[in-house]
Amino acid sequence: MAVQKLPIAKAINESLRTALENDPKVLIMGEDVGKLGGVFRVTDGLQKDFGEERVIDTPLAESGIVGTAIGLALRGYRPVVEIQFDGFVFPAYDQIVTQLAKMHARALGKIKMPVVIRIPYGGGIGAVEHHSESPETLFAHVAGLKVVSPSNSADAYWMMQQAIQSDDPVIFFEPKRRYWDKGEVDKEAIPGPLHKATVAREGTDLTLAAYGPMVKVCLEAAAAAEEEGKSLEVVDLRSMSPVDFDSVQASVEKTRRLVVVHEAPVFLGTGAEIAARITERCFYHLEAPVLRVGGYHAPYPPARLEEEYLPGLDRVLDAVDRSLAY
C-alpha cells in the first residue's frame, strides 16, 4: 500500500529506515537515539533493526557529534545526526559554521559534506528553557548550509530522503509540536525538488508565506478568513536556504499582498529577507507593504506565556486585516 496516514514523527522514522535500508553508508547518530529511540521516539526501533554500528548512541557532546559526523562524511559515510532540542545546537554551532559549512569550498569542491543535522525546533509544547527556540535564521545566514523544514507528513518523509541524498550539509528543522499531526504519505510518489515552495492553499486576496509549524496556523487563518469572505493563499516555503523566491513572487503577483509568518524573532528573520526581496521584485504589484508576524526581540518566554509570544490565529488575521486596509 503506497499511501499511508502517518504522524510527522513516524514519517521521519520511516524515511530514516528507508535510507538505512537503501544505503549502507547512512548512519544515525545522537544522544539517546538508540535504545530509547530518541526523546521524541523519532528513531524508535532503528537501532534494534540496524544495530549499534549504524544507529549510534553518542556521548553527550554536541560539538563531538557534529565534529565526528564531519570526519565520517570525509570517510564516505552519510551521517544523519540528531540534536536533541533546538537550544542545544549551540555547543555544535562552532563545528557547523566554521567547519561543516565551509569544507566543500575550502577543498576546491573536491570533497562533499553529506551530513544531515536534525533539530526538533519551535515552541508550543509547554517545555522549559532552551526547548522551544527557532534558530533557523542563524543557520540560513551561513553560506554552505542548506536549511529546510517540513510542515506535514509527506514532506517530512520525502524531504528527509532528499536531505540524506544531498551532498551538501542540510540543517533539517523538525516542527516538534506537529510531530503527532497525521497526514498522508505516498511512498511511491515522485517528490518535487527539496528547495521548492508549494502552494498549500490557493487564494486570491493575499498571500501568507510560512514554513514548519506555522503552516498549519496559516491554513487555519485562511479557513477563518474565508468565512469573512477573504480568499487567502498559503505558500509553504519548505526551505529557508535557499528560499524559493520565484514561487513567492508568482503568488504575490496574483494576490498583491504578502504576510510572512514564523515563530522566530521578526528582527533580521527569514521574513525580513523575504520582505526585502519581494519588495524588490514585486514593487509595482504590491498593494501593501510586506508584513511580518513572528517572535519578539525577547528570550523565548516561560511556558505560561508562550501562547502570547507565538503567532496564533489572531495575530495572523490581524496582520491580514492591516494589509488589506491599505
Partner 1 sequence: MTVESTAARKPRRSSTGGGKRASARKPAPQKSTEPELIQLLTPEGKRVEDAKNAVYDAYVADITAEELRGLYRDMVLTRRFDAEATALQRQGELGLWASLLGQEAAQIGSGRATRDDDYVFPTYREHGVAWCRGVDPTNLLGMFRGVNNGGWDPNSNNFHLYTIVIGSQTLHATGYAMGVAKDGADSAVIAYFGDGASSQGDVAESFTFSAVYNAPVVFFCQNNQWAISEPTEKQTRVPLYQRAQGFGFPGVRVDGNDVLACLAVTKWALERARNGEGPALIEAFTYRMGAHTTSDDPTKYRNDDERVAWEAKDPILRLRAYLESEGHADEGFFAELDDESEALGKRVREVVRAMPDPDLMAIFENIYADGHALVDEERAQFAAYQASFADAPAAGEVK
Ligand X SMILES: Cc1ncc(C[n+]2csc(CCOP(=O)(O)OP(=O)(O)O)c2C)c(N)n1
Determine which residue in the list 13, 43, 58, 84 makes contact with ligand X, applying CB under 6 A: 84
Q: How far is CA 47 from CA 22, 172, 278, 316, in A?
A: 16, 21, 45, 42
Question: Smallest Cα–Cα separation from 161: which of 225, 114, 102?
Answer: 114
Smallest separation, CB 132 to ligand X (Å): 13
Binding flag, residue 37, partner 1 (CB under 8 A): yes
Out of 104, 130, 131, 285, which one is annotated catalytic? Answer: 131
Pick 238 or 292: Cβ nearer partner 1:
292
Determine which residue in the list 4, 63, 198, 231 makes contact with partner 1, applying CB under 8 A: 63
User: What is the distance of C-alpha 253 from the center of its chain?
Assistant: 25
Determine which residue in the list 31, 86, 136, 233 makes contact with partner 1, applying CB under 8 A: 31
The dihedral sign for the CA sequence 5, 11, 15, 18: negative
| Coil/strand/helix, residue 98 | helix
**75, 81, 87, 89 alpha-carbon torsion, rounded to 10°:** 0
Distance of alpha carbon 191 from alpha carbon 159, whole angstroms? 8
Binding flag, residue 253, partner 1 (CB under 8 A): no
The verdict on whether 131 is a catalytic residue reads yes
Pick 31 or 136: Cβ nearer ligand X:
31
Which residue has cell 559526523? 69
| 277 interface partner picked from ligand X, partner 1, none, CB below 5 to 8 A per type | none
Q: How far is CA 240 from CA 22, 173, 291, in A?
A: 28, 10, 18
Segment contacting ligand X (CB under 6 A): 84-92, 141-149, 155-163, 168-176?
84-92
CB 26 within 8 A of CB 80: yes
| Coil/strand/helix, residue 54 | coil
Pick 83 or 234: Cβ nearer ligand X:
83
Binding flag, residue 191, partner 1 (CB under 8 A): no
Determine which residue in the list 38, 43, 47, 62 makes contact with ligand X, applying CB under 6 A: 62
Smallest separation, CB 257 to ligand X (Å): 42
Determine which residue in the list 4, 39, 192, 244 makes contact with partner 1, applying CB under 8 A: 39
Catalytic annotation, residues: 131
